[in-house]
Structure 1
Amino acid sequence: MTLLRIPSPLHDVFGARQRQLAIALVVLAAFGVPLALAVTEPHLLAVVAPWRVVFAALLVADVAAGAVANLTAGTNDHYAERPASRWVFIAVHLHLPAVAVLLDLPIVVALVVWAGTIAGAVTVNLLRGHPEQQVVAGTIFVAIATAAVLLTDARALTLVGILFAFKVVYAFAVDHEGSQ
């Protein structure tokens, strides 16, 4: 399969080189998840200002795209070569509480899932090179996903929370190439 050269402003998303199919799947996730939420949760669109919906949709798109992109070799390699950038990536991920505020979803639940996700990502990132890094990440993800489901009946928050935890704890914090 042919690897495409990625423009440098997009290296944080795709890495320096990426396969066409991977790019297509990342874009599909970026558009598909916000669209699915808009179709299945139309009441969210009606109760908040349109600008808040737009910003929330962009954050959800980033979460969904990252959940896929962070599994690719190109993105994994990019961050494996830049360990400090992994810490910055983890630190700046305030997406879940922001989506909750923007869409008037339960903020306490969002903060619990967010805090668990960040703590889990820090733990997994500290295990870089450990042979069980993926297993630890998977276990933490399962715990966070379970909490997301059990703590709220807000489907949109549950979905975004689970995708957020997957993106940050499992897809991103794990060095998929180095932990095999």
Structure 2
Amino acid sequence: MGTLRIPSSLHDVFGAHQSAASITLVLLAVPIAVLAVLPALLTVELWRAVLAALLVADIAAGVVANFTRGTNDHYAVSAKRRAVFIAVHVHLPIVALLLGLPLFPALIGWALTIAAGTAVVLLQGSPVQRPAAGLGIVIVLGATALVAEMTSVLLFITALFAIKVVLSFAVDHSGATGP
């Protein structure tokens, strides 16, 4: 499969160019993640379930998309784009509120994820950027797993969110940042 030119309105998701195979993989992540949280979606009003499903779909798609060359290259050229991307990601507490999940662990997971993602972006060009991202994931998941109110659905969403922001997005996967 060849490389496709992506419309400018989708550059933040796929970059300027993307392979059809990569787009397919990104789209496959969406139903898998939504099915994983389906039990929680079925316990709330339809409008809340739809909004939560859309946010979970965005998180899951971002986990995969941010590992692709097109999306990575789109963000690698601009520290400002990466900063804005991290700043607008308040998905985790919003999903918790929509699904009636415990807010405290969602806020812990969100705050730690944003802090870890920011730290990893600041390490761009450093040979420790990738290991620091791994450590960030361990910290986020370790801290949130220790919270008594953590549910398996919320832990799953937190894990996706942390992987998306800290590892998939904040790391420059082009190979320019070290081993």
TM-score for the superposition, normalised by structure 2 = 0.94
Farther-moved stretch of structure 1 (152-161 vs 130-139)? 152-161
> CA 1:79–1:48 in structure 2 vs 1: closer, same or farther (change >3 Å)?
same
Q: Does 1:179 align with 2:172?
A: no
Give the SS at the match of 1:141: helix
Give the SS at the match of 1:47: coil
Instruction: Compute the displacement of 1:47 (Å).
Output: 3.1
Q: Report % sequence identity.
A: 53
| Residue-by-residue CA offset, 1:125-177 (whole Å, 9 max, x unaligned) | 11110011000011111121222333244111000000000000010011111
Q: Does 1:9 align with 2:16?
A: no
Give the SS at the match of 2:177: coil
Instruction: Compute the displacement of 1:46 (Å).
Output: 4.1
| Aligned partners of 2:6 and 2:18 also within 8 Å | yes
The runs of 4+ residues in structure 1 deviating greater than 3 Å are none
| Aligned partners of 2:67 and 2:173 also within 8 Å | yes
| In 1: Cα distance, 2:140 partner to 2:119 partner | 14
> 5+ unaligned residues in a row in structure 1: which ranges?
none
Q: Does 1:63 align with 2:59?
A: yes
| In 2: Cα distance, 1:5 partner to 1:30 partner | 22
The residue aligned with 1:32 is 32
| In 2: Cα distance, 1:128 partner to 1:75 partner | 16
Q: Does 1:92 align with 2:63?
A: no
Where do residues 49-128 of structure 1 align in structure 2 (5 Å cutoff)? Answer: 49-128=45-124
Instruction: Give the counterpart letter for 1:74 in structure 2.
Output: G
Q: Does 1:130 align with 2:126?
A: yes
Instruction: Compute the displacement of 1:82 (Å).
Output: 1.9
Give the SS at the match of 2:158: helix
Q: Does 1:168 align with 2:135?
A: no
| Aligned partners of 1:148 and 1:162 also within 8 Å | no
> 5+ unaligned residues in a row in structure 2: which ranges?
none
Count of residues in correspondence between the two structures: 176
TM-score for the superposition, normalised by structure 1 = 0.93
Instruction: Give the counterpart letter for 2:173 in structure 1.
Output: H
| In 2: Cα distance, 1:156 partner to 1:37 partner | 6
Instruction: Compute the displacement of 1:96 (Å).
Output: 0.1
